[in-house]
A and B are shown apart, each in its own frame.
Chain A
């Protein structure tokens, strides 16, 4: 997945497991940026009686770097509190939940949102902010969009926030990809002669939900010196975005009570910037370490970007399909730019999202690029500069973009002597947003209404 269960340790701790990060200039509020960090992967909609919720013992953060050093200049922190109205029932709800203060909703969450600046200034933007319930089903949550709308809170100065369940918007064919790198649309070309015909992709995330931390804030709140403007080449136009989750450093479990006690500062256990970075590029033995580090320390992982294991596997698994890629031995300057430094000016006419020489995995967004009137899910490689890897919109096909980039499609941008293989321009896992049942929204928080547990999985 993008970052679902991407490392050994965090795969055992789903409440703190970041799955996707999105950052884009809001199409319906162009003086703002929308930041979304998703957690708790692969939620079956019928996950009762203990439906999914954020961790009271987890510090969730969305970070912004606006000076290119791979360290946060602005951080938004989410801290949750779970409330139980009646501990003497096993039920999540005892009747329909029609409002967020419904007495029928037995187990609910609120949160505190805090903005922290790198100098240490900390501002609480909201306390006691209500989360929506999970989408239980038509009897329990008969009007989910109304509940979700109630859970969009204004938190001053043009900000909005939402924290709660949404439909999984990421689409990927994991079942084929992790079966020895099979891509169904090209499976007849695979080294293993098991398939004779191509097949359409199968969305592994179909009808699943996630928990989203969604925030819409003015551009001037994120950029260096509060900059805003239309000059794409201004170095202040690009911000780096990533999310982290932390747990307290020490924990003691009480025997015989079901209680525990925690102490010490929060220690980072999960991190996510660019999709698939830790999942596909970082080797197994270093994934947990990567999750514990800031982007500023990513130089040590740059060799895995410069010589990605997956590029070598493509040559092995699809014999003769990528001859030019197979013959290329130099470091992958295109991937280093896309993922670790941003794309310098002059590589793509009229575009840059370069943040400097510091190699740091961050989702880089040039906020001077306006939202596209005709978005292309392949983003920048398809000429749509408002899409990934210039930030990431909820519908961007990041799997196909990164597959094609690793296969060499973007290499000719920085090495004019290289000719991409024909397959690099068509390789895909065969999925698009049409494979989602619940569509994206055109308003905040943009991810679709979560799938309800009565109808999903569909019979």
Chain B
């Protein structure tokens, strides 16, 4: 939905703009925990690309992004993650990241 007559940011419910809220969500991500669920390899046109992530260098900055990013932990044992970003998604195997997300989730 768009507001034709823009609402000033100070009028937004929490004083935070929608763009700010999205950035906030994107930065934190959202982890759904569904260990043991396997992604079908024949999922059709939206079939995910599967990649194994490389460790970022310690001083490497995260890529800039403004679209919502949602992460779904599919299998904690194998580190299988499904990452939804904008209108794309891909499956990633990263045990360290999975472990970090699970620790963050408590």
Considering the complex, give the chain A residue whose CB is closest to the CB of B22: A261
Q: What residues of A have a CB within 8 angstroms of the CB of B44 in the complex?
A: 294
B1-58, CB < 8 A from A: 1-5, 7, 13-14, 18, 21-22, 25, 30, 44, 46
Contact of B105 with A by CB under 8 A: no
- Chain B: minimal CB distance from A81 (Å): 6
A265 and B89 contact, Cβ closer than 8 Å, known pairs A250-B72, A259-B21? yes
Contact of A252 with B by CB under 8 A: yes
Q: What residues of A have a CB within 8 angstroms of the CB of B46 in the complex?
A: 249, 265-267
Per-residue contact bits, chain A 250-283, to B (CB 8 Å; 1 contact, 0 not):
1110101111011111110000000000000000
Q: What residues of A have a CB within 8 angstroms of the CB of B1 in the complex?
A: 56, 81-84
CA distance A83 to B2 in the complex (A): 5
A87 and B84 contact, Cβ closer than 8 Å, known pairs A257-B13, A259-B21? no
Contact of B95 with A by CB under 8 A: no
CA distance A248 to B67 in the complex (A): 13
**A87, A261, A294: the one within 8 Å of B3 (CB):** A87
Number of interface residues of A (CB under 8 A): 26
Q: What residues of A have a CB within 8 angstroms of the CB of B84 in the complex?
A: 248-250, 263-264
- Chain A: minimal CB distance from B12 (Å): 9
A303-338, CB < 8 A from B: none
CB atoms of B14 and A265 under 8 A apart: no
CB atoms of B86 and A263 under 8 A apart: yes
**B2, B30, B68: the one within 8 Å of A82 (CB):** B2
CB atoms of A252 and B2 under 8 A apart: no
Q: What residues of B have a CB within 8 angstroms of the CB of A263 in the complex?
A: 67-70, 84-87, 89
Contact of A114 with B by CB under 8 A: no
CB atoms of A85 and B2 under 8 A apart: no
CB atoms of B3 and A84 under 8 A apart: yes
CB atoms of A266 and B87 under 8 A apart: yes
- Chain A: minimal CB distance from B28 (Å): 10
A265 and B87 contact, Cβ closer than 8 Å, known pairs A84-B4, A87-B3, A257-B13? yes
Contact of B88 with A by CB under 8 A: yes
Q: What residues of B have a CB within 8 angstroms of the CB of A248 in the complex?
A: 84, 87
CA distance A254 to B28 in the complex (A): 13
- Chain A: minimal CB distance from B82 (Å): 8
Q: Is the interface of B mostly helix, strand, loop or mixed?
A: mixed
Q: Is the interface of A mostly helix, strand, loop or mixed?
A: strand
CB atoms of A261 and B68 under 8 A apart: yes
CA distance A202 to B5 in the complex (A): 47
Considering the complex, give the chain A residue whose CB is closest to the CB of B30: A252
- Chain A: minimal CB distance from B92 (Å): 14
- Chain A: minimal CB distance from B37 (Å): 14
Considering the complex, give the chain B residue whose CB is closest to the CB of A108: B4
Q: What residues of A have a CB within 8 angstroms of the CB of B21 in the complex?
A: 254, 257, 259, 261
CA distance A85 to B4 in the complex (A): 5
CA distance A249 to B45 in the complex (A): 13
Contact of A112 with B by CB under 8 A: no
CB atoms of B30 and A249 under 8 A apart: no
Q: What residues of B have a CB within 8 angstroms of the CB of A85 in the complex?
A: 4-5
Contact of A86 with B by CB under 8 A: yes
CA distance A251 to B72 in the complex (A): 11
**A84, A86, A258, A264: the one within 8 Å of B2 (CB):** A84
- Show the binding face of B for A, using Cβ within 8 Å: 1-5, 7, 13-14, 18, 21-22, 25, 30, 44, 46, 67-70, 72, 84-89
- 26 intermolecular pairs with C-beta atoms under 8 Å apart: A56-B1, A81-B2, A82-B1, A83-B3, A84-B4, A87-B7, A248-B84, A249-B46, A249-B84, A249-B89, A250-B70, A250-B89, A252-B25, A252-B30, A257-B13, A258-B13, A261-B21, A261-B68, A262-B68, A263-B68, A263-B69, A264-B84, A264-B85, A265-B46, A265-B87, A266-B87
Closest 6 CB pairs of A and B: A264-B84, A263-B84, A250-B70, A265-B46, A250-B84, A263-B68
